Homo-oligomer: A and B are copies of this chain.
Amino acid sequence: VRTFKLTLAYDGTEFCGWQFQPRRRTVQGMLEAVLAKITGQQYRVAASGRTDAGVHALGQVVSFSCDTWLSPEIFLRAINAELPDDMAALELTVAPERFHATRDAVKKRYRYVIHDAPKRDVFARRYSWRHRGRLDAEAMHAAAQHLLGKHDFASFETRGSERDSTVRTVFEIEVRRGRAGEGRAGQGGAIVSCFAPAVPMLEDKIIVEVEADGFLYQMVRTIVGTLSRVGEGKYPASWTAEVLAESDRRAAGPTAPPEGLFLLRVDYENGDVLH
């Protein structure tokens, strides 16, 4: 029996989230079914964290124990051959026996994309939050800086979950407007350069990136919803400090919708514990 570490990307649009649910299309359910098909046995897989319905991943990390005789290279290929085309297995390595993707994660990075152009973008709709009305990215960035560091983020947790503590440390948080040079978008916005040069630009996208030692339930989406209120000019940049101090979800802004959220990366101790 070996422990494997698998890096996974998925387009969350057509999944009812990560977590297994009977008769529902979930990422975990799909992966476990694929492993069962390849190995002939049932295995349980653990992710760095559960993503909600509609949330995407570019680098979700999953661990599982499995007694296959396949090499990681062949096993990875077999997994990709069986996965549906909105999931992709990017990397598979043998990890130390006790490695656990949930418990051992030390840092995660999320990105959230807001589309705030007056014109609808049919290619961005699955991958961004369509916000009516232009947002002030600089004000949002200033507001976000109050969240840096170690705080009680209870105000940014949608519902009380079973977690011991609502204290988390935010290492980095950045809000910026997409720059033209980054990719020539337009109608076809996010789909960018190969789909629509010569047309508008990434300037109609606002990108929020947050890196922390962990995230509470819907924390990124609540942060983004709160920052959007500042971006709309309804609150000053200092408002986020007040929201934080309240330790009450009712003090924060709305929960931004799931389609704009991407789990980018998960880090483990020692850079890479896996060799």
Contact = CB atoms under 8 A, between A and B. Distances in A.
Interface of A: 9-11, 56, 58-59, 80, 85-88, 90, 111, 113, 119-123, 125, 127-128, 178, 181-188, 190-197, 199, 202, 205, 207, 262, 264
Contact of A120 (B88, B182, B191): B88
Nearest to A125: B85
21 contacts: A9-B122, A10-B122, A56-B123, A58-B196, A58-B199, A85-B122, A88-B120, A111-B194, A127-B191, A127-B195, A128-B194, A178-B193, A182-B183, A182-B184, A183-B184, A183-B192, A185-B192, A191-B191, A191-B192, A193-B202, A194-B207
Contacts of A123: 9, 11, 56, 127
A120 B85 contact: yes
A195 B9 contact: no
Contact of A202 (B80, B88, B185, B194): B194
Most chain B CB within 10 A, of A127, A184, A187, A192, is at: A192
A187 B9 contact: yes
A80 B122 contact: no
A215 B248 CA distance: 61
B188 A9 contact: yes
A128 B11 CA distance: 15
Contacts of A205: 194
Contacts of A9: 121-123, 187-188
B87 A122 contact: yes
A196 B264 contact: yes
Nearest to A178: B194
